[in-house]
Amino acid sequence: MLFRQIEYLQAVVEHGNFYDAADACHVSQSAISQQIKKLEEELEVQLLERHNRTFSLTPAGEHFYRKSLIIRGDLEQLIRETKRIDKKDAAILRLGYYKGYHGNEFSEAVAMFSEKYPTVEIKTMNGSHEDLYHALENDTVDLVLNDQRRAFSGAYNNMILSESTTYIEISSRNPLCHLDQLDVHDLKNTPCILVINPSGQEEEQRYYDEIVGLHGEFLFAETLQDARLKIVTGQGYMPVDVIGEQVWFDTVVSRILLTRNGEPIEKTYCAFWKKNNSGFYVEEFAEMLKSRF
């Protein structure tokens, strides 16, 4: 009962009122109010200051609420670990994603899946387009989020997720940042920064040179943070794939639409997995991933 009372208190604080908290906990408003009062009585501490239809946490209530969130997180982790130990042959879902992808959809899908299937262990990797292709071929991953650079193969499930539009990120101190769009030919004298591990550098450079049309010097960074440090110090620009509406707020880095012969550059992002490895968890994750795009 104590954990249920704590859950009710957390719901009231998170929703800001008793009505929505009761609805989220599937109990009546009077029930949730009574249980919080019982919690206060058991603790002999007032947790909430009630003001007609509103409330505020007392200093003791603020402390209790914050600590209770930590306890709840530890408890949920304990439950997951216990269930995994009990299932000696616990399922593992191995996922890969393209290192040039910077969206939130993949992590949101992982969070959804983990919440629904807490006993399934999720392992992730990132890499270049070719790294992911070979990982699928060699059965070291079950599903990858990747951009399409080959014709679809009949040996794979090829789920189209979304189209991306290519922008560049460039220092806001660079005169080019005042333009609404830039053609690939406008950047031939500015180094192109690619986020990629050493093993994929040659392949990624060839793609952006021969396919996208960015001719010039290439610099490499292994992390997004390292790439943006190169940008703000004026070392070059970085191409980024934007899915959906372009929303960007940054005072030191600007995003500008990249075009080729005046037309936006687009990519197709897909989920790929082998047809002979089309198990329940793989397909379930694929559907969750599709729902986030």
Residue 157 pLDDT greater than 80, yes or no: yes
Q: Is the model more confident about 275 or about 109? A: 109
Question: Sorting pLDDT into bands at 50, 70 and 90, what band is 85?
Answer: low
The answer to whether the 2-86 and 162-267 domains have the same CATH topology is no
Which of 101-105, 124-128, 166-170 holds the top average pLDDT?
A: 166-170
What is the pLDDT of the chain when averaged over all its residues?
88
CATH number of 162-267: 3.40.190.290
Longest Cα–Cα distance of the chain, Å, equals: 73
- Cβ atoms of residues 99 and 138 within 8 Å: no
Question: Sorting pLDDT into bands at 50, 70 and 90, what band is 81?
Answer: low
Q: Which of 71-75, 148-152, 180-184 has the lowest mean pLDDT?
A: 71-75
For residues 28-44, give the mean pLDDT: 89
pTM: 0.63
Q: What Cα–Cα distance (Å) separates residue 153 from each residue in 158, 241, 257?
A: 8, 24, 31
CATH 3.40.190.10 fits 92-161+268-292, yes or no: yes
φ/ψ of residue 96, rounded to 5: -130, 155
Residue pLDDT, tens place only, 209-258: 999 999 999 999 988 899 999 999 999 999 998 887 766 667 899 999 99
Residue 253 pairs with which residues in a beta bridge? 171
Domain layout of the chain by residue ranges: 2-86, 92-161+268-292, 162-267
Residue 18 pLDDT greater than 80, yes or no: yes
Residue with tokens 């209530």: 61
Residue type at 111 in one-letter notation: A
Question: Sorting pLDDT into bands at 50, 70 and 90, what band is 90?
Answer: low
CA proximity to 224, closest of 186, 189, 192, 196: 196
Q: What is the DSSP letter of 138?
A: T
For residues 269, 275, 277, 280, the Cα torsion angle rounded to the nearest 10 degrees is: 80
Residue pLDDT, tens place only, 41-70: 988 999 988 887 788 899 998 999 999 998
- Cβ atoms of residues 191 and 217 within 8 Å: yes
Fold annotation for 2-86: Arc Repressor Mutant, subunit A (1.10.10)
How many C-beta neighbours within 10 Å does residue 225 have?
Answer: 9
Residue with tokens 């610099």: 219
The pLDDT assigned to 139 comes to 87
For residues 187-193, give the mean pLDDT: 94
CA atoms within 13 A on the CB side of 120: 20
Residue pLDDT, tens place only, 106-156: 999 999 999 998 888 899 998 888 889 999 988 899 999 999 988 898 889
Distance of alpha carbon 56 from alpha carbon 135, whole angstroms: 53
The pLDDT assigned to 88 comes to 58
The pLDDT assigned to 187 comes to 94
pLDDT-above-70 percentage for the chain: 95
